[in-house]
Each structure stands twice: as structure tokens, then as C-alpha cells.
Amino acid sequence: MRIYLAGPEVFLADADAVAAGKKAVCAAHGLAGVFPLDLPLAPEAASLEAHQRIYRANEAHIRSCDALIANLTPFRGPSADAGTAYELGFMRALGRPVLAYTNILSDFAGRTLAHLGPHLRRRPDGAWEDDQGMGIEEFGLADNLMLDGGVIEAGFRVERQDVPEAQRWHDLTAFTRCVRSLAATLAR
């Protein structure tokens, strides 16, 4: 079974080392990890702009996999990487298993409130809103309800843990729990 390993680790200088670690965890559980940077670009895509070649190749790569594990650790703000969120939703729409983890324990609402700081106010009903009048999602979830919801509907839960900032992108403990969970489900 091929598992697409979605996450912002592709932006790390040592992305190949992180990919190798994740693939090793998958292999130890009888699964084949597929990292986004593994993709060969199709010759017919040579005429496209670089961003469109990467997009098409990633979508084809995701379609070639049987399940997806997404790293939802907040990336450049209080929420998950937008590309990773897209990939999780895309795989969920294909009807395949999606799992996720985050290396930050605090919930999405708490991170959003901290991020917005002085740009918050209370509505008459007690809910928070930002200075543009947009409400703050407060469900105690790891991230946006659509991300957590997709994982839950697939029969799993978002694995959450707190990791020191220096290890945030390299600690594979929660990722390993996702792999174990998927392997156990497949074994049934």
C-alpha cells in the first residue's frame, strides 16, 4: 500500500532526510511511503510553467497512492500548510483513507487567538471575532474543522503532541502513531 506523505517538510533544507525517516517508519509497518519530492516530471509537462508542472505532478502522485498521512503542524501562522490541506481534501474526495498529525498540542482556536492578539473583540454572544468581523472557530480541534472532520470521517483521529520547536519538523512520534493506526486498520 502506497502512502502519500503530505506536509510542509518539502520546504526544509534536509527534506530528503525527513523523507527517508518517514519512509523507514512506513516500511517497518509494511507500507510504502511516497514523498511529494519523489515525483518525476512528465516530459509532456516541460512546456508548462514550473508551478503548474509541480501541481500536475503532485496531483498525479496523490492519485497513485492508496492513503495519505498529513502533517498539520502549523506552518507560517496558526494553521496547517495550505498545500497540505488541499492534498488532504483531494485524497478524501477520492474516497481513500486520510490520517493526520500535528507536533503542536494547542488547539486551532487558541493559536488563532494568540496570533491575532490585539485585533480581537467579543461579540454580544461571547464568541471571538477579528477586527474584520470574522468569527473565530472554537471547537477544540487541531485545525480547521474541515481538516479534522475529514480525518474523523475516514475513521481516524488527528494525532497531537507537543514537540520542542527545534524538533518540530523532525520528530516522527505522532507520525509513527498514524502509520501504526493505518497498518492496524489494514490488518483487520
- Tell me the average confidence (pLDDT) per consecutive run of 10 residues in the chain, 188 residues long: 97 97 98 90 68 88 97 98 98 98 97 94 96 96 98 98 97 98 95
Host domain of residue 182: 2-106+142-187
Residue 33 parent element (H or E): strand 32-34
Q: What is the pLDDT of residue 57?
A: 86
The Cα 163–Cα 73 span in angstroms is: 10
- In whole angstroms, give the CA distance from residue 116 to residue 122: 13
Write down the pLDDT at residue 50: 81
pLDDT at 46: 65
Q: Do residues 117 and 97 both lie within one domain?
A: no
Instruction: State the pTM of this model.
Output: 0.94
pLDDT recorded at residue 51:
85
Residues 130 and 54 in one domain: no
Q: Clarify whether residues 134 and 156 are in a common domain.
A: no
For residue 161, the domain's CATH number is 3.40.50.450
pLDDT at residue 14 in the model: 98
pLDDT at residue 45, rounded to an integer: 62
pLDDT confidence of residue 44:
62
Residues 123 and 34 in one domain: no
Gap between the terminal Cα atoms of the chain: 15
Predicted confidence at residue 54, as pLDDT, reads: 85
Neighbours of 17 (CB within 10 A): 12
Determine phi and psi for 127, rounding to 5 degrees: -75, 155
Say what the pLDDT of residue 41 is: 62
Give the burial string for 60-83 (b: 16+ CB within 10 Å, else e). ebbeebbbbbbbbbbbeebbbbeb
- The answer on 30 and 92 residing in a single domain is yes
Tell whether 166 and 96 lie within a shared domain.
yes
